[in-house]
Chains A and B, each alone.
Chain A
Amino acid sequence: MSTAMNFGNKTFRPRPPDKGAFPLDHFGECKSFKETYMRCLKDNRFDNSRCRAESKTYLQCRMDRQLMAKEPFEKLGFKDLLEEPAEKHEAKS
């Protein structure tokens, strides 16, 4: 952490997360989703923008198994992913 002897500088103040801590996935219930996500990252040279759908499914898995508080995905920043299916529906119909 702050191992350097810089007394004059401002120290780093860690902030608690907005929605708290993830409960541990002791039973590996969402491990497969995680593997999918990691594979996607490796394939896309670790570009997060391309693997957002996979991260969304992982979070969905967590919510389903009580490993995360249920929240609408707009609040988690996945609004663009939710709008796409709606657009596709409109385009089809």
Chain B
Amino acid sequence: MRNIFLCDNNIFTQQTNILLYLKIGCTCRYPQNLSQVKHTCLKGHFTCNSRIMLLPFLLRGCTAKHYVQLSSTRLCINCCNIRELATSGGQLFFRRTPQRFLNQSRGAKTHKRKPQEDDWRKRNKTVLTYIAAAGVGMIGLSYAAVPLYRLYCQATGLGGTAVAGHNTDQVETMKPIRERIIKVTFNADTHASIQWNFRPQQSEIYVVPGETALAFYKARNPTDKPVIGISTYNVVPFEAGQYFNKIQCFCFEEQRLNPHEEVDMPVFFYIDPEFDDDPRMARVDTITLSYTFFEAKEGQQLPLPGYS
């Protein structure tokens, strides 16, 4: 307790005067000789040792004479309570905490709440910061996902079509399902700008799932100039398209036909045996394979399907 305390350095044995010295840094002590102190209605006045620091205090506290009612047993308690008056000036030079301790009994709740509220506010702020950071992180991730997915597709070879990819080794081991006969019809189209005569050489073929089959198309260039064509295909019904696997065909690559040339274009394909297990394909008996030829310009780079 380093604040201003009352201490009694000198207790006069006289009955009417008790001289109490107020000195900085003194500790409160009971008077040495209680018997010497006469009680009730004793006058007392404070003096203090003046130090230069305590000049304002000096001016305020020391010159005032204070009449205290003292009893023998409560001498020290009262002298300690005089702190309340004395520290008002001294708080300029000392920590403010003693004021709080002094007024503790009165304003206990408000002073306890303040640090707690500050605590909560601080915690709320940190939580909010974390949430905001997470939100920004999510937005950034969604933007980064596009190139990342492309990288992943390149690495794993899925090529953007995350279909349950058919196994190319399956051709060796698959067993044809003789009970299920499927009719495959063929269709040939040309784009308006290409002048080829493009048609299938058979209108239909009966295949079973799990068996490889060969089909032919014929293309003829009636013009006097070489024409480069490129084709793509389509399978109807849509869901059957995933079971239609081509081992080799003439699509997606530039095919050049010299003037007045006619060629046979084979398609080597099979239908996945799992076609028979699919309940959606239970009533599908006909699959139509449709090829369309477009004219390709010299030096034109056409993107391959499924590879961006």
Q: Which residues of A contact B (CB under 8 A)?
A: 1-2, 9-10, 12-22, 24-26, 28, 30-31, 34, 37-38, 41, 45-49, 52, 55, 58-59, 68, 74-79
**Residue of B with least CB distance to A51:** B214
Chain A proximity of B78: nearest CB distance (Å)? 91
**Residue of A with least CB distance to B305:** A14
| A24 and B232 contacting across the interface, CB-CB below 8 Å | no
Pick from A22, A58, A74: contact of B265, CB under 8 Å: A22
Task: For A26, list chain B residues within 8 Å (CB).
Answer: 258, 261, 263
Task: For A45, list chain B residues within 8 Å (CB).
Answer: 206
- Asked if B253 lies at the interface with its beta carbon under 8 angstroms from chain A, I say yes
Q: A24-B263, A48-B207 are in contact. List 13 more A-B contacts (CB 8 A).
A: A12-B235, A12-B238, A13-B161, A15-B161, A22-B248, A22-B265, A48-B208, A55-B214, A68-B248, A75-B172, A76-B247, A76-B268, A79-B172
| B172 and A46 contacting across the interface, CB-CB below 8 Å | no
Task: For A15, list chain B residues within 8 Å (CB).
Answer: 161, 245-246, 305-306
Task: For A52, list chain B residues within 8 Å (CB).
Answer: 211-212
| A18 and B168 contacting across the interface, CB-CB below 8 Å | yes
Report the count of interface residues on B (CB-CB < 8 A). 51
| Cβ < 8 Å to A, chain B residues 263-308 | 263-266, 268, 270, 292, 304-306
| B247 and A41 contacting across the interface, CB-CB below 8 Å | no
Tally of A-B Cβ pairs under 8 angstroms: 133
- Asked if B30 lies at the interface with its beta carbon under 8 angstroms from chain A, I say no
Task: For B265, list chain A residues within 8 Å (CB).
Answer: 22, 24
- Bound: A46/B203 CA distance, A: 9
| Contact mask for chain B residues 207-236; partner A; CB cutoff 8 A; 1 contact, 0 none | 110011110100000000000000011110
- Bound: A37/B292 CA distance, A: 24
Residues A16 and B304 in contact in the complex (CB < 8 Å), given A22-B265, A24-B250: yes
Task: For B238, list chain A residues within 8 Å (CB).
Answer: 9-10, 12
Task: For B264, list chain A residues within 8 Å (CB).
Answer: 25, 28, 30-31, 34
Task: For B234, list chain A residues within 8 Å (CB).
Answer: 1-2, 12, 14
| B268 and A59 contacting across the interface, CB-CB below 8 Å | yes
| B247 and A21 contacting across the interface, CB-CB below 8 Å | no
| B214 and A14 contacting across the interface, CB-CB below 8 Å | no
| B202 and A16 contacting across the interface, CB-CB below 8 Å | no
| B253 and A77 contacting across the interface, CB-CB below 8 Å | no
